[in-house]
Structure 1
Amino acid sequence: MDQQELFDLALRFRQAIQDVKMDRNFYDMKDRMNYFPRGCCDDSADLFGYYLLHEYHIPSKQGNGYCSKADTNHAFIILPDGTIIDLTADQFPFLSNQHGGIYVGQQNSFYRNLERMRVENHFDITHDDRLWHDYQAIYALL
């Protein structure tokens, strides 16, 4: 799958998240996904990572690093070829010009400058009632 196809897929997934948010169909009102994209990078990466693997057989990992300019951690998807997919790139002013709020591409200066960078397996969303509910609500709109 090329970068444009990945971008289109990510954009559809992000739109489904926004639609679930508008419909107030997330797990409960305390679910942090209700504030998407703010504070939802970790969950979004796990949800989309699950979707990529189970629908398209595309493996991925979660990248997570500290952004000192924003004083927060940030999570995103890393594919085996190094492609980054960031469904919540628009949380950061330096990435807010990304079409649809999404970044798909190779590592740029933002990701290179993250501190305490870790690359780990995604959390298994099937083991968490909230995330599994949210995934089902998102998936129903795809």
Structure 2
Amino acid sequence: MLVRIYQQHRLLWERSIHDPYIGQLLMLNDRGDLDPVFNSGEPLNTQLAKSSTVWRAFLHQTDGKLVVAGAIDKDKNSHMFDIVVARFDQSGELDADFNDGLGWARTRLSTQSDGATAVTLQNDKIVIGGVSHDSGVVVRYHS
């Protein structure tokens, strides 16, 4: 579970719910209530491509968009994962300006499990740090 304060005392809470894995994002306001702007004040449950999705890292871009990274099941219920990165707008919708309108991208680096554990920005590019099988990796995406 990740929790981070940003933008005038708003709080973003990330966690994953098991079986199947569903990445969940919650945005809280300064009173601790669900933020009505983000996903109409409801938790945002994410299961991309109908596959288990786990969020492990996130950041906010200067334009207010939310970038999250983690892992997505290679095949439904395979329990072998690829790296996944997604970008959401301020209301919690997938950003149609990222990855040719899809709003998210999957990267398969091996036949074993891969996953992202860190995300940052470098010269307007999204940079992911993580693991591929038993090696550390860095992957950069055009934002």
TM-score, normalized by length of structure 1? 0.30
Q: Which has the higher contact order (CA 8 A, sep 6+)?
A: 1
Name the structure with the higher helix share: 1
Task: With the length of structure 2 as denominator, give the TM-score of the two structures.
Answer: 0.29
